[in-house]
Amino acid sequence: MQNTAQVQTVYMVAVVVLIAVGLYCIIAKRELLKIVIGIEILTSAVNLNILVMGLGDSGVDALAQSMAVISMSIGACIAAVALALVVDVFRHYKTTDIRKLRRLRW
Amino acid sequence: MVDITSQLIMYPIIVLLTSAAIMPLVKILEDHLKFKRLKEFLTMLSIAICLLSLSILHREIPADGYLEASLLGFNPPFGTQFYVDEFSVYMAVIFCGLGLLVAIFSYRYMEVDTGLDKYYGLLLTLITGMIGVAFAGDLFNLYVFWELMCISSYSLVSFRKYRWEAVEAGFKYLVMSTIGSIVALYGISLIYGSFKTVNMREVAVRLSLAQAKLSPSAVPSLYFAAGLIICGFAPTRYDYYDRVFLTSRKLRYGLLNRLS
């Protein structure tokens, strides 16, 4: 019981670190691809958190495992759409710098 | 024995998803039949069938107020559950009605575009996602249908990818909305960690049972999780309102320019 709580704490710290790295990527980086990578890091962090929350004495709960797998596949779909949009952005703007995407205004 | 009334809940989702899945085949059939409007008619027909099944579903809702169905017979806390009351049917009718109007207006508006089988497929999955959000009985199911709606929405926003506006708007919408969805999923995972279930009714029952035993430190963490879910789902809603206001403003300027 004590051991499970310790393992949970370690993984939760890892989740917080991953969330911080992902948010840093999205906020600070100017490259579209790095922003997509940041989104994927955030998705991975939340998937890890689902597994940590399902951690018990007899391993990870089946519900947590199924939720993590479905969440991973949804994350892959989002990455695919995002990368397709990055390609289209490059075709129009000839750059993947987010600062150049400023034409759309009120 | 199969309970027909509870299976009625699935019909709108099954009809719309099946129509979306067979849309590429319909495109091939169109080419053979030399009838170019089959996909439009299929879209309108499937949404009309969906509206019909919703009207039947509305009559089947009992006096105590709700119907429920579990997917593949797995009951909560492990199975996926749909939960339908009058308000969910009301919301689903609004989504289907708007979808039908969009399909009717798209008949002429989209005829200059190519790849319309993808457009109508995405429109149908968008409506499926919205109906699923209204019918979802557990938080993770809600998230899955939300993402189905969002992914269709990103693709529809950037459908005219030969225009820079569509691509730029699509990417910005994707980044904003995905961050929101991830925050909501983080909140859902915290709720799951606290109650070991994501079923909304089960969470409510366990919370009311545990209310007396809750330690003072546990209450803020539950508020935090609920706040994450609300804040996570908010950006997508904001995007929708933003787009509606932007469109209305453009329309107003267009009308003023024409009048002057």
Q: pLDDT band at B256, cuts 50/70/90?
A: very low
Q: Could you tell me the fold of the domain covering A2-100?
A: Helix Hairpins (1.10.287)
Whether residues A81 and B151 touch (CB distance < 8 A) is answered with yes
| Cα–Cα distance measured from residue B27 to residue B41, given in angstroms and rounded to the nearest whole number | 12
For B209-248, the pLDDT digits (tens) are: 877 677 676 778 888 888 888 888 887 665 555 554 454 4
Question: Closest Cα to residue B166, out of A100, A94, A92?
Answer: A92
CA distance A19 to chain B (A): 10
Is pLDDT above 80 for B79? no
| % chain B with pLDDT above 90 | 44
* Cβ atoms of residues A20 and A37 within 8 Å: no
Is pLDDT above 70 for B161? yes
Determine the length of chain A: 106
Here the tokens at position A96 are: 């993947």
Q: pLDDT band at B173, cuts 50/70/90?
A: very high
pLDDT winner (highest mean) among A3-12, B46-55, B111-120: B46-55
Q: How crowded is residue A21: how many other Cβ atoms within 10 Å of its Cβ?
A: 15
For B176-204, the pLDDT digits (tens) are: 999 999 999 999 999 998 888 888 888 88
* Cβ atoms of residues B132 and B141 within 8 Å: yes
For B112-157, the pLDDT digits (tens) are: 888 899 999 999 999 999 999 999 988 999 999 999 999 999 999 9
What mean pLDDT value characterizes chain B? 84
For A55-99, the pLDDT digits (tens) are: 988 888 888 999 999 999 999 999 999 999 999 999 999 999 988
* Cβ atoms of residues A52 and A65 within 8 Å: no
- Domains in chain B: ranges and CATH: 1-137 (1.20.120), 162-260 (no CATH)
Whether residues B189 and A103 touch (CB distance < 8 A) is answered with no
Whether residues B186 and A61 touch (CB distance < 8 A) is answered with no
| Cα–Cα distance measured from residue B158 to residue B176, given in angstroms and rounded to the nearest whole number | 15
> What's the average model confidence in pLDDT over B98-105?
93
- The least confident of B83-92, B131-140, B174-183, B250-259 is B250-259
Whether residues B175 and A71 touch (CB distance < 8 A) is answered with no
Q: How crowded is residue A70: how many other Cβ atoms within 10 Å of its Cβ?
A: 17
Q: Report the residue of chain A nearest B187, measured CA to CA.
A: A46
CA atoms B191, B193, B194, B198: torsion sign: positive
What mean pLDDT value characterizes chain A? 91
> What's the average model confidence in pLDDT over B18-44?
89
Is pLDDT above 80 for B253? no
Helix, coil or strand: residue B248: helix
pLDDT of residue B201: 84
ipTM for the complex shown: 0.94
Measured CB to CB, residues of chain B less than 8 Å from chain A are 77-78, 140, 143-144, 147, 151, 154-155, 158, 161, 164-165, 167-172, 174-175, 178-179, 182, 185-186, 189-190, 192-193, 196-198, 246, 249
**What residues in B contact A43, CB-CB < 8 Å?**
182
The dihedral over CA atoms of A62, A66, A71, A77, expressed in degrees to the nearest 10, equals: 160
**Which is more confident, B253 or B146?**
B146
| Cα–Cα distance measured from residue B246 to residue A105, given in angstroms and rounded to the nearest whole number | 10
Q: A28 Cβ partners below 8 Å, 6+ apart?
A: none
CA distance B164 to chain A (A): 6
Pinpoint the alpha helices (H) of B3-115. Answer: 4-8, 11-33, 38-60, 86-109
Question: Closest Cα to residue B187, out of B227, B159, B142, B150?
Answer: B227
Residue whose token pair is 């089959």: B38
Q: pLDDT band at B62, cuts 50/70/90?
A: confident
Domain boundaries in chain A?
A: 2-100
pLDDT of residue A69: 95
Q: B36 Cβ partners below 8 Å, 6+ apart?
A: B30
| Cα–Cα distance measured from residue B173 to residue B158, given in angstroms and rounded to the nearest whole number | 10
pLDDT of residue B243: 55
